[in-house]
Amino acid sequence: MAVRDESGAWVTDWGMGLGIPAPGYLEGPGGPVPIPCVEWVEISTSKLKGGLAGRPLERIVVTDEVLSSLREVPAAWELRLTTWSVQGILSLEPVEAVHLPNPFGPTQCNVSPHPGRQGWSLQLASDAIRDGLGMELLDAKRMIRAEVFRCDADHTVTVTHVGKPAPPEILDWYYAAAARRLDPFEDGSALLERAAWRGV
């Protein structure tokens, strides 16, 4: 699911499904999001069975079932070849998915255009092994260029850059968005100030 609001734009991890927990909100793996802030969603035409606790992983194609459920959807959609990652099970595996733009948004999210942000986006990624949540900075090629990781086990925030650091104005925007999105820690305590982040 792609989201855009006043803090920027990002793409969530793949999840088990989408729901509407309350009127006006769409819930994916990153939690509830106001529907006007959703740019698009992608629905895999395959589903997974097993893959954990030593059980063999089985990939089941459900293309006909998915397309049948979309026949009454009053919006344009298309089939795309993309990649699929599920923590601990799959990593960047090719998959055919339905790409469904949001016909109602994201015009109501009051996003101010910024020329320097063109091509840059953000995504949240939970990590059970490191016990925390990270916000990743992606470039125009969808490559991860940086990560701000909130560790809930020891209450630290660590910044890691991949390759050449992004331009300063992009990093300022990214750090500000991460400070908002990663706050608070899992136990409710406030996120550390940026000056206390490791690696900044």
Q: Which long-range contacts (CB under 8 A, 24 or more apart) does 188-194 make?
A: 189/155, 191/150, 191/157, 192/155, 192/156, 192/157
Dihedral Cα 124, 144, 17, 190, nearest 10 deg: -10
Q: One-letter amino acid identity for 163?
A: G
The model's pLDDT over 105-160, given as tens digits with 9 standing for 90+, comes to 554 443 333 445 667 877 777 777 888 888 888 887 777 889 999 999 999 999 99
Helix then strand count (H, E) for the chain reads: 2, 13
Q: What is the pLDDT of residue 116?
A: 53
Asked if residues 133 and 122 have their Cβ atoms less than 8 Å apart, the reply is no
d(CA 34, CA 36): 6
Q: What is the pLDDT of residue 134?
A: 86
Percent of the chain with pLDDT over 70: 90
* Helix-, strand-, coil-residue percentages of the chain, each rounded to 5: 15, 40, 45
Residue 151: beta bridge partners?
132, 156
The model's pLDDT over 62-94, given as tens digits with 9 standing for 90+, comes to 998 888 888 777 777 888 888 888 777 878 888
Dihedral sign of CA atoms 169, 172, 174, 177 in order: negative
**Does the pTM of the predicted model rise above 0.75?**
no
Most confident of 8-22, 38-52, 81-95, 156-170: 156-170
Q: How far is CA 183 from CA 116, 134, 177, 189, in A?
A: 25, 11, 10, 8
CB-based contacts of 75, cutoff 8 Å, min separation 6:
100, 101, 102, 103
Q: Which residues of 63-74 are buried (b: 16+ CB within 10 A; e: fewer)?
A: eeebeeeeeeee
